[in-house]
Amino acid sequence: MSVLVILIMGSSSTSAQLSKNFYSKSCPKVFSTVRSVVQSAVSKERRMGASLVRLFFHDCFVNGCDGSILLDDTSSFTGEKTAGPNNNSVRGFNVVDDIKSKVEKVCPGVVSCADILAIASRDSVVILGGPDWDVKLGRRDSKTASFSAANSGVIPPPTATLSQLINRFQARGLSAKDMVALSGAHTIGKARCIIFRGRIYNETNIDSSFAKARQNNCPRTSGSGDNNLAPLDVGTPNSFDTKYFQNLLNKKGLLHSDQILFNGGSTDSLVKTYNSNTKTFYSDFVTAMIKMGDITPLTGSSGEIRKNCRKPN
């Protein structure tokens, strides 16, 4: 019995150290400071909201939510920025730098870059019309980053099968339901032609007029137009809503890993539910975002509070 209790405590102790009021005394202005920078960045470029959410996702899936994705390469390590899932793809580092410098002015040496990512991703969702939630805080920053860990397949590729998606998320403590809800973040953001070319030319579970429209800006020839962008949600690309799921029902998912969620498999019913019930989608999305933010954070005396998000102190 005692062993079981220790195991249960051990598994939840890290997330238990995160709390919604972690900075209530040490940096009460952290939320308003982060929000104003995110608001400004997203009003300049709506896509930035999606980019900040994705940064948080790619940070948390590699060695936990520790801000490691923000570190530039040094002489002693090659970081995560140039790994396959991130290279020429993740963006928004300049916005994080801007947030960090503003937060440092208000309360120097207090707020971690890992927590800034968690707050900025929530703010992005809210600003684009999605649900609000209280972010758990108290993460500390890693002193290193791992190119090989980011490249190891922990971040599911856009070519993933349904079982691969389910397994990759389960490996991080997230259920199939969490995975489908989090995929709903593709209601915002854009993808590059090189990522969806195979789908629009080779797959059959795709609306033909949708495929043709995408082909107009994404040539079949590899190396031609690779970086041309298309919205992940063709309906309302800058609004956080349920249109992503409606697209899947209509075979208008842009990525293979989107459409596979509604393709005769175990997640079809969830896609239908989220399409018809915004409240359920928002509720499950929030639950999943909080769970994702709980993935192996550094707390207590582990890690550090970086002064500059791009380099260890």
Number of other CB atoms surrounding residue 108 within 10 Å = 11
* Cross-strand pairs, 141: 304
Please check whether residue 232 is in contact with residue 187, taking contact to mean a CB–CB distance below 8 angstroms: yes
* Cross-strand pairs, 293: none
Write out pLDDT tens, residues 263-282: 999 999 999 999 999 999 99
Amino acid at 239: S
Token pair for residue 127?
A: 């600003």
Record the pTM. 0.94
Q: What does the pLDDT read at residue 8?
A: 43
Write out pLDDT tens, residues 97-139: 999 999 999 999 999 999 999 999 999 999 999 999 999 999 9
CA distance 138 to 14: 10
pLDDT at 21 over 80: yes
Token pair for residue 96?
A: 């994080």
Q: What does the pLDDT read at residue 17?
A: 86
Query: Mean pLDDT across the chain, nearest whole number?
Result: 95
Per cent of the chain over pLDDT 90 is: 94
Q: Please indicate whether residue 58 is annotated as part of the active site.
A: yes
Sign (positive or negative) of CA dihedral 137, 78, 11, 313: negative
DSSP state of 73: P
Tokens 């933010």 belong to 293
| Annotated catalytic residue, options 46, 47, 58, 81 | 58
CA distance 51 to 120: 10
CA distance 93 to 86: 12
CA distance 44 to 82: 26
Q: Where are the beta strands (DSSP E) in the chain?
A: 190-192, 229-231
Mean pLDDT over residues 53-77, rounded?
97
Number of other CB atoms surrounding residue 36 within 10 Å = 13
Q: H helices within 107-232, ranges in order?
A: 113-127, 147-150, 162-170, 176-183, 193-202, 208-215
Per cent of the chain over pLDDT 70 is: 95
